[in-house]
Amino acid sequence: MLEHKKHNPLIALLGAAALFVSVPTIAAAAAATSPAAAEAPAAAAPAAAEESSTSSASGGHGKITVSSMFMQAVPVVKAVMIGLILASVISWTILVIKLMFFAKLNKSSNNYLEAFRGARSIADINRISTSDEFAGNPMADMAAVATEEIQISKQAGLQVSGEHRDSTLHRASSSINAVQAGLAKRLSGGLTFLASTGSIGPFVGLFGTVYGIMNSFIGIADSGTTNLAVVAPGIAEALLATGIGLAAAIPAVVMYNIFNTSIAAYGTRSEQFVSELMNSLSRQLDKGA
């Protein structure tokens, strides 16, 4: 027991010496580790700055919507969009007007044909055709000019029947052809605008897109950054011009085809009426009317 107590001071002394020797080593290790720890925040600082820059660039545009893209577009692209929107509005206006026109025209023509087929003389045909009820109807106009030509010939003392029947019908047919020539122009009103919008609308929109993308690339060169968040809004604004161009052109082409079909159908119907009218006039002249 006494020996053990004598060894305790020696052990304590040796432990203190070992601790004293190890302190510089620990301090050196801590010093070596400290630059790396300091370097980490320094390296993170540029990344944070870049992230902040990206965030501010994208935050400048905010949420991208159609209205924001339009408002932020460059003047040339904005002018293209406005022009295409106006063309689209005019096209839809023509659609409404034409649909109402053809609905009214077909209804009026049906009523006129019913009244025409009930006429018993050239005078009856003329009276029905010149009535206010059918004013402006193309079929009524054809019958009116044909019967008026016959009545004028009779008033001039010309023979309208017998051997002069063919010449009378020829004059009546010429009057009908004059009305038909004006009918084609009357029915096709507005179709030229629809055809133009449908054919050049996509190209006008593409021009706006090309100009807008070119402007975006110039902005990339000036800013010296290729960050997508910086250039994406400008490219989106440019692509919107093509979208509006297609939105204006596609309905215009569809409308043009619909109205072309309607005009062709009414043209066929008017040709059939002309044949029916000439047969009716021929019968009346053979009766000596």
* Distant-in-sequence, close-in-space partners of 44: CB < 8 Å, separation ≥ 6: none
> What is the mean predicted confidence (pLDDT) over 219-239?
72
> What is the mean predicted confidence (pLDDT) over 203-214?
89
User: DSSP readout, 50-96?
Assistant: HHHHHHHHHHHH-S--HHHHHHHS-HHHHHHHHHHHHHHHHHHHHHH
Q: Torsion over CA of 101, 102, 104 and 109, rounded to 10 degrees?
A: 130
pLDDT over threshold 50, residue 9: no
Against a cut of 0.85, is the pTM above it? Answer: no
* pLDDT for the residue 58: 41
Structural domain spans, the chain: 1-62, 67-286
Of 4-13, 65-74, 102-111, 215-224, least confident by mean pLDDT is 4-13
Q: Tell me, what DSSP letter sits at residue 161? A: S
For residue range 60-101, list pLDDT tens digits in order. 445 767 777 777 778 888 899 999 999 999 999 999 999 999
* Distant-in-sequence, close-in-space partners of 70: CB < 8 Å, separation ≥ 6: 78, 81, 237, 240
Decide if 206 contacts 173 (C-beta within 8 A).
Answer: no
pLDDT over threshold 50, residue 142: yes
Q: How many alpha carbons fall within 13 Å on the CB side of residue 264?
A: 6
* pLDDT for the residue 251: 93
Instruction: Give the number of other CB atoms < 10 A from CB of residue 59.
Output: 10
